[in-house]
């Protein structure tokens, strides 16, 4: 039986909740940080001593000395993006060699995946999902269609050449017939990716074995999610979702640890709400108030630069997220963004066709019928930026957090009051609980 303890970090909304900073702060207590889903469309921003790091594939634990990082089998890996990120980290003085490992079972993104996604997303008559067109979805499609290329296969050059030749022939025909796209060159692709395979080889491991052996030794693991619960392929606002399991269950399938190895689930929520791309967003505020949230919160994609849609905290959504994930603790980020407001709306329920409900609709069109029921809480109109003690927060801010905690049904353990690593409040019960994860010396 595993002796080590684990925690899963999940986004409790539509992603962009500030998971990168939280993983970085908490990674001090863990031996390993393992990423379990998504691809290089997920941008995690970490600021350390004023220096900004934007990580897309590499887990945020790489920025902690003595912490190993794992890219699990549930991630889809763009080899060129991975090598570019590793190169930038090396240049910044981060020690990646010997500390960063890639699953041999992770699936690989190839140029024809980007071609297919870009063409499909722009096809006439198609419902736009708002993807980043980085090939994430088509790579997962090939994985589920049992025609994908895994990292282990990438390293077998004979198999790689055969796979590329067959796949390119098929994808070029489909893309030309459906979208009139320009073909991709199989020979050029093989040369580029054979070279990449050689550079990636030192990072490749059977990471399921690595993680389970670490647990058997009593080491602790922090599982890092990508995107958020409402973008989960099964439980999100389908079809306006990502292509992977963004919920806590994805940590099991995406890394190869057993379900009973999960000790704790930590949900990350902003003090308000944002969403990128198309799809339902019941509490979206398109007024100048929403614009002000975007400006104060710097709500632009870390990877794409796209402006995020902004709105108010949605408690029915947060409760749904807590149920799906089995959330043990909540972390509230960007509290300081609300500092200037005299009152703060919070959605406490929905009306659909005039009837009150707390249910989250399964159909995307069901969200069109939602009228939010708002409860307005007093603002504090004083700066909370950089505060590190709960008692030093303005009374109205403490009351706002207490209301959130009571209504969401999960205890708040941590509050972020700024982008920096040290601009964080750790509540006493949560801090005590973290000691159970302390690295073995």
Catalytic (active-site) positions = 16, 44
- Identify which of 203, 204, 221 has the alpha carbon closest to the alpha carbon of residue 212: 221
Q: Report the C-alpha gap between 370 and 282 in whole angstroms.
A: 7
Q: What is the DSSP letter of 441?
A: -
Query: How many of the other CB atoms lie within 10 Å of CB of 188?
Result: 12
User: What CA–CA distance (Å, rounded) separates 286 from 136?
Assistant: 30
Let me know how many helices (H) and strands (E) the chain has, helices first: 14, 19
Write down how long the chain is.
441
Alpha carbon distance 159, 180 (integer Å): 29
Distance of CA 337 to the CA centre of its chain: 21
The angle at the Cα of 106, spanning 72 to 231, to the nearest 5 degrees, equals 70
* Among candidate residues 158, 131, 142, 155, the one with its CA nearest the CA of residue 109: 142
C-alpha span between 314 and 345 (Å, rounded): 10
DSSP string of 33-83, one letter each residue: EEE-SB-TT--EEEEETTEEEEESSS-GGGGSTT-EEEE-TTBEE-HHHHH
- Which pair of structure tokens corresponds to residue 141? 């499609």
Mapped to the 3 state alphabet, what secondary structure does 164-180 carry? HHHHHHHHHHHHHHHHC
Tokens 């990716």 locate to 193
CA dihedral sign of residues 288, 293, 298, 301:
negative
């Amino acid at each position: 039986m595993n002796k080590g303890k684990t925690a899963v970090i999940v986004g409790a909304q539509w992603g962009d909740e500030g998971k990168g900073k939280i993983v970085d702060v908490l990674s001090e207590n863990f031996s390993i940080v393992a990423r379990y889903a998504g691809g290089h469309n997920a941008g995690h921003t970490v600021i350390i001593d004023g220096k900004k790091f934007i990580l897309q594939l590499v887990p945020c634990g790489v920025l902690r000395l003595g912490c190993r990082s794992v890219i699990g089998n549930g991630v889809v890996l763009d080899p060129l993006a991975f090598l570019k990120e590793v190169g930038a980290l090396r240049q910044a003085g981060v020690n990646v060699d010997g500390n960063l490992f890639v699953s041999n079972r992770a699936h690989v993104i190839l140029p024809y995946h980007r071609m297919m996604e870009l063409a499909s997303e722009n096809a006439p008559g198609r419902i736009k999902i708002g993807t980043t067109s980085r090939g994430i979805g088509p790579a997962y499609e090939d994985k589920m269609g049992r025609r994908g290329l895994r990292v282990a296969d990438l390293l077998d050059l004979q198999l790689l050449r055969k796979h590329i030749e067959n796949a390119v022939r098929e994808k070029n025909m489909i893309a030309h017939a459906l979208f009139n796209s320009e073909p991709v060159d199989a020979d050029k692709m093989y040369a580029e990716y054979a070279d990449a395979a050689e550079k990636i080889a030192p990072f490749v491991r059977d990471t399921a074995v690595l993680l389970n052996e670490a647990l058997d030794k009593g080491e602790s693991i922090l599982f890092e999610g990508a995107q958020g619960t409402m973008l989960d392929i099964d439980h999100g606002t389908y079809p306006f979702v990502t292509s992977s399991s963004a919920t806590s269950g994805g940590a099991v399938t995406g890394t190869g640890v057993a379900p009973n190895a999960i000790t704790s689930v930590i949900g990350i929520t902003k003090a308000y709400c944002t969403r990128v791309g198309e799809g339902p967003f019941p509490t979206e505020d398109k007024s100048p108030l929403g614009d002000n949230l975007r400006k104060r919160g710097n709500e632009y994609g870390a990877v794409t630069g796209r402006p995020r849609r902004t709105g108010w905290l949605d408690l029915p959504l947060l409760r749904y997220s807590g149920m799906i994930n089995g959330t043990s603790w909540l972390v509230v980020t960007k509290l300081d963004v609300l500092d200037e407001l005299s009152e703060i709306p919070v959605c406490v329920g929905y009306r659909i066709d005039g009837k009150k409900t707390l249910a989250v609709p399964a159909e995307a069109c069901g969200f069109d019928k939602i009228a939010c029921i708002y409860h307005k809480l007093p603002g504090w109109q004083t700066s909370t930026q950089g505060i590190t003690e709960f008692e030093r927060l303005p009374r109205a801010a403490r009351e706002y957090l207490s209301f959130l905690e009571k209504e969401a049904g999960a205890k708040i353990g941590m509050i972020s009051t700024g982008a920096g690593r040290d601009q964080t409040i750790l509540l006493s019960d949560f801090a005590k609980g973290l000691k159970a994860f302390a690295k073995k010396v």
